[in-house]
Amino acid sequence: MEITKLILEYFKVLVSWPVVVLTIAIYFFSRFKEGISDFLQRVEEGEGYGIKVKATTPSEQRKEASEIKPAPGLDEAEKFVAEHPKEAVLEYRKILNGYRWEKAFNIIYGTQLHLLEHLGQKGSSGEKYVNLLPFYNEFVKRSKLSTTQFADYLGFLRDSQFIMIEGTENDLVVKIAPYGVDFLSYVKGQYPYYSGKAF
């Protein structure tokens, strides 16, 4: 009687929904491993718990594969530059800016990005230097890095040519530079969830 009860208890556990779901999931993933892998490689966009995923179709993916080929040889590249100097310069600038913006994005603080957004909204009128202290104070609060001075905090943005500081010592105005507008646009395009960046 006791053994039958024990067997029934084990059977209950085996047919409970978590075990059944896990078994089905393991079977599903092992059976369709290649299809799932192919789908994940084609994913272009995702969302969250509302679950919205966009993937390229296999034919679109194959079409785009032509753009992933190795760079042309040196002779071919030199020929292209000689025949299309303006296009070559534009492409070079685009690649160089992308490289610099990626480097900047890796080290910029989240509060500095918010500051750039704020200045972007202010446009050509800019914002008084002292009115930007709340962004710095938020940075200090989040990071606990009191050794970073306000001048250094803004100095990084100025040295990166993302902002311009104009006016006299007692009446400084900070404006977003065109390069800063381009950087912000790049970040928004490449990193939709950039606002969650630390500090």
Q: What tens digit of pLDDT does each residue of 27-36 get?
A: 766 776 766 6
Using a 10 angstrom Cβ sphere, with 0-12 exposed, 13-18 middle and 19 or more buried, the burial of residue 11 is: exposed
User: Which amino acid makes up residue 60?
Assistant: E
Spatial CA neighbour of 160 closest among 92, 93, 97:
97
- End-to-end CA, the chain: 64
Q: Which two tokens stand for residue 117?
A: 């957004």
Q: What span, in angstroms and rounded, lies between the C-alpha atoms of 127 and 176?
A: 9
Across residues 153-173, what is the average pLDDT?
A: 90
Mean local confidence (pLDDT), 82-102: 85
Decide: 44 and 52 in contact? Cβ < 8 Å: no
Q: What tokens does 128 get?
A: 């008084």
pTM listed for this prediction? 0.59
